[in-house]
Structure 1
Amino acid sequence: MPSIKKDDINLGIDYCLKNDLFKELNDLYNSIPNGDCIGCGKCCMESVGANLVEFLNIYNYLNKNKNVHNIVMEKILDYYFKEYKEKMPCPFKDSNNRCLIYEVRPLNCRIYGHWRKKDYNKNYERIKKDNIEFARYMEEEHNIKVDESILNYKIEYCEKFKPSLDYMNKDERMKYYDRGMVIDSKLYSKGIMDIDFRDRGIVEYFIESIFFNNVASNIRINITKNNSYKVLRRVKALVL
């Protein structure tokens, strides 16, 4: 049984629909100022963090769009299990740089271009430091050396995105994230889903809806150590 049970996901989606949590989420999204994006897709190169209600909203969307669902799930498996060996784009991006879940994309994607450059670069330095620490841990504990091209990859600040208003400072951005947390709290407080409260990337949510977390992690370590994707092909045959 996976870490995030399918029955719990269905209960969560049902609760969100009956109690207008998806509507609240859309109201939050619609309150973000517009911006002029050229659609180059250069920012869509990682699994962004997402709230639980955002995951349920995306899961529900994919259930209603089976053709997109099948494409996305294979990309998610590739992204997760090849993460230490290959730098892959966001699994929700297609070959034409279009977002396959654009209507329900997470808050992190919607607010990306609104960062001030100084804040963006400062945040990158923090992430880089965390990545270096994680790479050191993987080498010491699992004898896995994370590829340098992945470790040092940087999504460059987008100079071409033009917000309709001014760029946001940290306090302005946090107001949107705080509203998202309030929406999440309405679901967590009901205890209808057996899921721990912690930060997750959107890919992690989907992986945990398929595997036990430690099982998926062990498979990924095995694939990386043996530099072989035979195991991944067997996993796909079972899952897809």
Structure 2
Amino acid sequence: MTSIKKNHVVNCINYANENRLFDKLNNIYKSLPSGDCSGCGNCCMESVGTNLIEFINIYNYLENKPELKKMCLDKIIDYYFLEYIDKKPCPFKDKDNRCMIYEVRPLNCRLFGHWKKEDYNKNLSNVTQRNREYRDLIKSKYGFDISDKVVNYKIEYCETFIPQERYLEKSERLEFADNLMILDSNIYSKGIIDINFKDRGIVEYFIESLLKEDTAYNIKVRVSKDKNVRNRAINRLKKILL
């Protein structure tokens, strides 16, 4: 069972500041090509994969904005515990389709739209197939069905985004991701955070900062199965955690 203890996150933030890792992260962000986005918010519909350095950067940003932090955590809890039954938008998206953490949004958000259509749709097909395989695993293991709406939901290729110069090749997108991995490795190698390295979405990072991973997942499975306990369980968690 793993969790992201608050003092470990604080230690990571201090280490990142002392070693200018946030500056390096921002320099990577600044090196990304720009583009013309309509701001429709159609792409802001999932817990995007996020690096550790990005999580602690977002965490640090929210620590200085307590009201925003509480609002985001409230929506994060809903997103995580209702994920199998209801397709909700990214918890950092407000009612006007604006990103509430736009200044510190993750790399995956910044790269959206910079894909060639062929590459994007191929990746989308792989994601849908993995979702269906995971649905079958959950059915066999816990005996309930993840909503078809959730399993088959697709963020379609954005036809309106216009890159400033050209679409990025896969190797170029991976190079940006590799640069973030180097920053992550710098933190992990110091042993200042007690979590396993694995792919996580931004929602999972925040949930693990509130609850042990196994505890959170067990609750998620139970509330997903039983409609009668769902709202009570989520409201109780919010009272305890927020």
Q: Deviations over 1:4-57 (max 9, x none)?
A: 111100000000001000000000000001110010000000000000010000
Q: Deviations over 1:118-176 (max 9, x none)?
A: 00000011111110110001101001101111111000100000010100111111111
Residue 90 (structure 1) aligned with residue 90 (structure 2): yes
Distance 1:132 1:194 in 2: 32
Partner of 2:239: 237
**One-letter amino acid of the structure 1 residue matched with residue 240 of structure 2:** L
Distance 2:22 2:203 in 1: 20
For the 8 Å contact 1:36–1:163, the answer to whether it is kept is: yes
**One-letter amino acid of the structure 2 residue matched with residue 18 of structure 1:** E
**One-letter amino acid of the structure 1 residue matched with residue 108 of structure 2:** N
For the 8 Å contact 2:2–2:195, the answer to whether it is kept is: no
Give the deviation of 1:194 after TM superposition.
1.1
Residue 153 (structure 1) aligned with residue 134 (structure 2): no
**One-letter amino acid of the structure 2 residue matched with residue 40 of structure 1:** C
Give the deviation of 1:239 after TM superposition.
1.0
Distance 1:165 1:27 in 2: 20
Q: Which structure 2 segments of 5+ residues have no match?
A: none
**One-letter amino acid of the structure 2 residue matched with residue 191 of structure 1:** G
Trace 1:163-178 onto structure 2 (pairs within 5 A).
Answer: 163-178=163-178
Q: Which moved more, 1:181-190 or 1:201-210?
A: 181-190
**One-letter amino acid of the structure 2 residue matched with residue 27 of structure 1:** N
TM-score (structure 1 length as normaliser) = 0.98
Q: Deviations over 1:160-209 (max 9, x none)?
A: 00010100111111111111111111111111111211110000000000
**One-letter amino acid of the structure 2 residue matched with residue 158 of structure 1:** C
For the 8 Å contact 1:38–1:160, the answer to whether it is kept is: yes
For the 8 Å contact 1:49–1:200, the answer to whether it is kept is: yes
Distance 1:128 1:225 in 2: 22
Trace 1:11-90 onto structure 2 (pairs within 5 A).
Answer: 11-90=11-90
**When the two structures are aligned, how many residues end up with a matched partner?**
240
Residue 133 (structure 1) aligned with residue 145 (structure 2): no
**One-letter amino acid of the structure 1 residue matched with residue 236 of structure 2:** R
Q: Which moved more, 1:180-189 or 1:88-97?
A: 180-189
Partner of 1:102: 102
TM-score (structure 2 length as normaliser) = 0.97
Distance 1:164 1:58 in 2: 27
Distance 1:75 1:56 in 2: 19
Q: Secondary structure at 1:71's aligned position in 2?
A: helix
Distance 1:42 1:140 in 2: 33
Q: Secondary structure at 2:112's aligned position in 1?
A: helix
Relative distance call for 1:2 and 1:195 in structure 2 (3 A) is closer
Partner of 1:222: 222
Q: Secondary structure at 2:79's aligned position in 1?
A: helix
Give the deviation of 1:70 after TM superposition.
1.0
Q: Secondary structure at 1:108's aligned position in 2?
A: helix
Stretches of 4+ aligned residues off by more than 6 angstroms? none
For the 8 Å contact 2:84–2:224, the answer to whether it is kept is: yes
Identity value in percent = 50
**One-letter amino acid of the structure 1 residue matched with residue 123 of structure 2:** N
For the 8 Å contact 1:2–1:209, the answer to whether it is kept is: no
**One-letter amino acid of the structure 1 residue matched with residue 73 of structure 2:** M
Q: Secondary structure at 2:89's aligned position in 1?
A: coil
Q: Secondary structure at 2:221's aligned position in 1?
A: helix
**Aligned residues: CA RMSD:** 1.0
